[in-house]
Structure 1
Amino acid sequence: MSSRALRRLKGEQRAQAALQELELSDEERMKSDAHKLKNNTSNIFELIGDADGCPSDEEIAERGREGAQLKKDYVKNEKSNKKKKKKKKASAENGKEVAAAGDDIDALLETLEKSKGLSHQNADSNVAEHRPLLYVEHRNLNPETELKRFFGARAVLGDQRVKQRQRQFHRCTWMTVPKDTWPRFSRPGISMSLVESKDGLQHFTFEHNRDYQQVQFKFFDAVESMDPNNIVVLLQLNPYHIDSLLQLSDVCHLQDDQETARDLIEKALYCFECAFHPVFSLTSGICRLDYRRPENRAFYLALFKHVMFLEKRGCPRTALEYCKLILSLDPDNDPLCMLLHFDFLCLRCREYTTFIRLNEEWEVHRNLSQLPNFAFSVALSHYHLSQQDDISPEESQQLRQKADVLLQNALIMFPGALMPLLDLCTVQPDAAVSSHAFFGPKSQIGQPPALSELVFLYVGRCHSLWKDAGLMLWLEENVEKVLKRVDTHDPYVEECQNKRKLRYQSAPRNIHRHVMMSEIKEATATLPLEVTTQPGMGFDPLPPLDSIVSYTRPERQNAGASNESTLSLFFRSLLPNFNMQGTEDGQEVARAGRELNQEVNRLMVAMRDMLANIQFREPQWEDNPDRDDEEWD
């Protein structure tokens, strides 16, 4: 029932109560008063009190006047109600005038609610302006909140309301909603402890008990076997082992089983949240987790994978909230480099002011303008703000002019991003643009490898945001202005060229880690060889070089392998069942030979494919003594 219907019901109840009081005649009132007086004279001393408390003639006359006035009001209300019934088919203006007398209470309540609503909106806007930049709201961590906003609760929940009575008891959590199909949760051996409280910040860490460490060692054995079935068996015995959930989620993702992959990540997050310290808070913004500890990395990776699934599910607002959560756990180091993803999520969910505020507050100490995604996305945010209808023409013009300047500066600083962006947007550039030396192929070949990695990451992720006719016209106008500035030898063009030569010599490790986990093929193709040739696992991609290890895996003794030659070890890497000493069974020898030939043939095919697709890289940039050592990540 709506609030207006409730107010009408209350008004009718009040009118009925007044009607019942008016229907009592004066005689009935006098009889009732006499009856009460008769019943109350059981004590003789009560008559003395009644005599003292008897109303005077003036009070009786006043009550009579009040009763007469109440009768008149009732008659007026009754007449107005009759008029409303008779004139339902009349004009709307007459109907409003007649209903005004009967809806005074509703109108008063509506005006009060409107005034309160406006005050609440103003208060919320003021509070939002003074909130911390990485403030996280609990209600925005649930993707159903965003889905209900678009499709309604009935379409999102479906038959869940009917099954609520049969639902099992689960611990209430913020990040995930436990499912009845999940195994019963029992503490797997993960806990969280407070390391220290310093400078208003609380540093926490996850810890593994002895039993969980043994399960972790078994997990390492299962990973080395290169057989996902061993991980499945381990999960059957330990259904809430974090690294097994993450690794098996990657396997399901590669097999296009997105539903199972997402469910495994949600299980991991549920296990982590059940292990939270009582003081640990997702929304305070003062809790820190050190990524150098392996126990904490799994929480970062689970959150990152959850962001990717939320984005594919069509929940960019929820994904942005988790992005802020990851960034708040270590904003100084940003181990997963969430700043490279922050702009895309803000533009997807139209949080333009939030992104502009981040750029303005962090530009001083983080040099965000050196990142291509920030340079282009800030201009795009100002452009979208200028197109809104709730601003004045003067303000719209100012925002548009600022957006033009920002876009031109971004194109001058990162000219190698234009042609790949137009290519992914399936837009044929003008001949004057494609043939110009500033935006031509030379702009992509001449940029440092680290800059190419950032440019292709932005283009591969955000090209869908530019697929709009109005945006392409705006981009075309500013490209022409940039070419004019280049031809007229604008000093800013030469300044940006010098910055590109001095900076972007090598990308930090967290950027490589982000590119590997982003799965954007345009960006992963630009990773350096020292990164792609490193052995890495999905549960711990590119671990930090200064890791803080709390416990180590015991060494596995293998006496038989110590006497083997290099050739034997090579064949064993190709065929695990190969034995250099041979066997007495001739069939086993023949079978091993056939398998060896097959593995060698596969190796040769892989080598031919590698040689056919080999790409010559640009020579490494020489160390420049004038290099700008300023942090740019």
Structure 2
Amino acid sequence: MSTKNLKRYLEQRDARLKTESVEESSESCSDDDELKLQNKFLFLDIEEENGESFVGDKDNEKIVHDEQSKTFGSERKSKCKSKNRKNKKKAKKVPAEADDEMLSSSEKPLNAAGSSSKELLFEKDIFKVDMKMLSGEIEFLKILGQRTSGNQSHRRRKLCGRIVREKNTWPPLNNFGFSMEKASEQGNIWWFKFEHHSTYKVMQELFWSYASSEDHEAIHEILLEQPYHLDSLLVMAEVMRQQEDYQVSRDLIERGIFYCESNFCSHFELNNFNHRLSYDHFENRAFYLLLHQHMQNMLGRSCFETALNLAKLIYRLDSEDDPLGILLTIDVLALRAGKYEYFFQLYNTLKEPKSLDRLPNFVYSFALAHFLTYLKTNDAEELKEANDSLATAIYHFPTVIVQLLNKLNIQPNEDIEKNVYMNVLAHERESEGSKHLTKVYLSLSESLWKESETLLWLEKATLEAVSHFSEHLEELEEWKKIRKLYVGLPRNVERHGFLWNVIRNAEWTVFDPAPPLQSTSRYLSVESPRTRETHSALLRLFTSLVVNERQHIKGNEY
């Protein structure tokens, strides 16, 4: 090879190597940038029902690649390194702003922006839980920030649980015979159960002996020895609440929830709608009751959105039987949280399968939700819908109005007071179940009706509805017959009433109110279930808070 040819060959080789080096540098830069684009969403920790992250979605990957090709395809390596350093600095700012961003995102309606409010939703969609809105810390700190100077800076403890955070003041965790295991499968539904083993069973039986004599000092001694005994935590939390030591009461409840979380088995996914816990299994009840008391605590602190998310979580644990009667509560929680669009989605999705239009709390809350939306948007259509919905509620459950006015210490109008469908005498003639549902709803929703604008609308819309009674006599008589079918109280409705201080029963306890008539447990004292007759289809439906007028109940079986 001549010197001239050799020189040309070396020049071509150097040019080729230089080109390959630049391409490799560009590809490395692109990969890093793609990773940064994806990682900036990782702090959201949003998961689907099956546990898959939204970040891994193919559509998101396509967007990332498109943006990469448009923006980063021709960048130099030095510029990429500089941009990576900037991204790292920005990433450090994310945790400090995460609480506000998470709260803002949780305020969005369930439907995506621009989508129709009538799009198809399922029960698992409606009860999807924002796992970051369960402890109450985010919402409470925002409330404090709004009431002070707007300073929302705060330190965040390490998140050690999905529901509550571990506190430095709590005793160290120890395993003294408490665990969770998979109980059974029914199609795609997995049932789980907590179990008490030898050491825990000794403490449980000791607790029962102390609880029967209301020896709170002895129960306190149990907690000194085993600080995570769940029923003892429930009892002492109630004692502290009655003594108005609310902070200690909340702390005991959160400690119990954290211990349950720490003992979840590896297969149990809290955010999986198909993973359930049966309330009939005695050892599962403490977890239910701890969550319910935590929900009530959040309601007491005006953390309404947190309380709403906890209600969703409790319902998901057994959506078939709804053992704590969440469907008698969630409408009020949604309205107090200002989640009107969510309430409409809930009502429209479950109106048919759960017969929500047969529950007075939902039909009156439906009208109120439209009026509150009108106050927010000044949309005349919402006001018309509110008036029409309230009229329907009155025609279906007429005695609720007088009871509501009495609850608010307002003297009813003479036309209302003398109306044979609405007055006090008419209410006394209602079935036991109908009167109880009215009492429960008014005890929970009283604060929503107290606002002056709401009262003025209620008076005007009620008088308008009453003036048209003669046009709806057939409808009034039909619903009078339907309400007569509300015979007796299902166990979950009794339990719900006890937990909200509407029902009193000296035989029930805070650690096992209104025990299921059929129970399973390893303890001899609760192992033998009481046999029940095979109830009619209505009673089985009513157990899930559904009433069907085509069936008939013989007597008060509950």
**TM-score normalised by length of structure 1:** 0.63
- How many percent identity over aligned positions? 30
Q: Is the 8 A contact 1:140 1:146 kept in 2?
A: yes
Q: Is the 8 A contact 2:398 2:421 kept in 1?
A: yes
Shift of 1:626: 7.8
Deviations 1:457-483 (A, max 9, x none): 111210110112222222122222222
Q: Does 1:427 find its partner at 2:410?
A: yes
Whole-Å separation in 2 of the counterparts to 1:218 and 1:417? 46
Q: Is the 8 A contact 1:262 1:306 kept in 2?
A: yes
Q: Does 1:510 find its partner at 2:492?
A: yes
Q: Is the 8 A contact 2:127 2:313 kept in 1?
A: yes
Which amino acid in structure 2 is aligned with residue 417 of structure 1? V
Of residues 510, 515, 528, the one that matches 1:538 is: 510
Secondary structure in 1 matching 2:519: coil
Residue matched to 2:90: none
Secondary structure in 2 matching 1:140: coil
**1:175-574 to 2 correspondence within 5 Å?**
175-389=163-377, 396-488=379-471, 490-501=473-484, 503-519=485-501, 523-524=502-503, 532=505, 535-552=507-524
Change (3 A) 1:301 1:554: closer
Secondary structure in 2 matching 1:438: coil
Deviations 1:285-338 (A, max 9, x none): 111001111100111111111110000011010011010000001111001111
Whole-Å separation in 2 of the counterparts to 1:216 and 1:148? 37
Q: Is the 8 A contact 1:449 1:504 kept in 2?
A: yes
Change (3 A) 1:367 1:236: same
Which amino acid in structure 2 is aligned with residue 137 of structure 1? D
Shift of 1:496: 1.6
Whole-Å separation in 2 of the counterparts to 1:237 and 1:159? 38
Whole-Å separation in 2 of the counterparts to 1:53 and 1:355? 69
Q: Is the 8 A contact 2:280 2:518 kept in 1?
A: yes
Deviations 1:330-349 (A, max 9, x none): 11100111111101100001
Deviations 1:509-541 (A, max 9, x none): 11011001102xxx33xx7xxxx36x2221101
Which deviates further from its counterpart, 279-288 or 301-310? 279-288
Q: Which has the larger radius of gyration?
A: 1
Residue matched to 1:74: none
Residue matched to 1:152: 145
Change (3 A) 1:158 1:48: closer
Change (3 A) 1:155 1:544: farther
Whole-Å separation in 2 of the counterparts to 1:495 and 1:402? 23
Secondary structure in 2 matching 1:459: helix
Q: Is the 8 A contact 2:141 2:152 kept in 1?
A: no
Q: Does 1:143 find its partner at 2:136?
A: yes
Of residues 113, 127, 135, the one that matches 1:134 is: 127
Shift of 1:188: 2.9
Which amino acid in structure 1 is aligned with residue 173 of structure 2? F
Q: CA RMSD in A?
A: 3.3
Whole-Å separation in 2 of the counterparts to 1:477 and 1:405? 12
Change (3 A) 1:50 1:210: same
More helix by share: 1
Change (3 A) 1:489 1:124: closer
Change (3 A) 1:46 1:627: closer
Whole-Å separation in 2 of the counterparts to 1:452 and 1:53? 92
Residue matched to 1:564: none
Whole-Å separation in 1 of the counterparts to 2:371 and 2:165? 38
Residue matched to 2:25: none
Gaps in structure 1 of 5+ consecutive residues: 1-44, 55-116, 556-624
Secondary structure in 2 matching 1:426: coil
Whole-Å separation in 2 of the counterparts to 1:540 and 1:226? 14
Deviations 1:403-447 (A, max 9, x none): 222211111222221122122323333233223333222222211
Q: Is the 8 A contact 1:135 1:284 kept in 2?
A: no
Which amino acid in structure 2 is aligned with residue 423 of structure 1? N
Q: Is the 8 A contact 2:159 2:165 kept in 1?
A: no
Shift of 1:171: 7.3
Q: Is the 8 A contact 1:249 1:265 kept in 2?
A: yes
Shift of 1:126: 7.1
Residue matched to 2:29: none
Which amino acid in structure 2 is aligned with residue 236 of structure 1? L
Shift of 1:228: 0.4
Whole-Å separation in 2 of the counterparts to 1:53 and 1:543? 84
Corresponding pairs, count? 432
Residue matched to 1:24: none
Change (3 A) 1:221 1:126: farther
Shift of 1:361: 1.8
Whole-Å separation in 2 of the counterparts to 1:436 and 1:286? 48
Shift of 1:486: 2.1
Gaps in structure 2 of 5+ consecutive residues: 1-5, 16-100, 528-548
Residue matched to 1:574: none
Secondary structure in 2 matching 1:388: helix
Q: Is the 8 A contact 2:520 2:526 kept in 1?
A: no
Which deviates further from its counterpart, 172-181 or 233-242? 172-181
Whole-Å separation in 2 of the counterparts to 1:248 and 1:47? 90
**1:2-13 to 2 correspondence within 5 Å?**
none
Whole-Å separation in 2 of the counterparts to 1:155 and 1:312? 23
Change (3 A) 1:126 1:333: farther
Which amino acid in structure 1 is aligned with residue 391 of structure 2? Q
Whole-Å separation in 2 of the counterparts to 1:124 and 1:366? 25
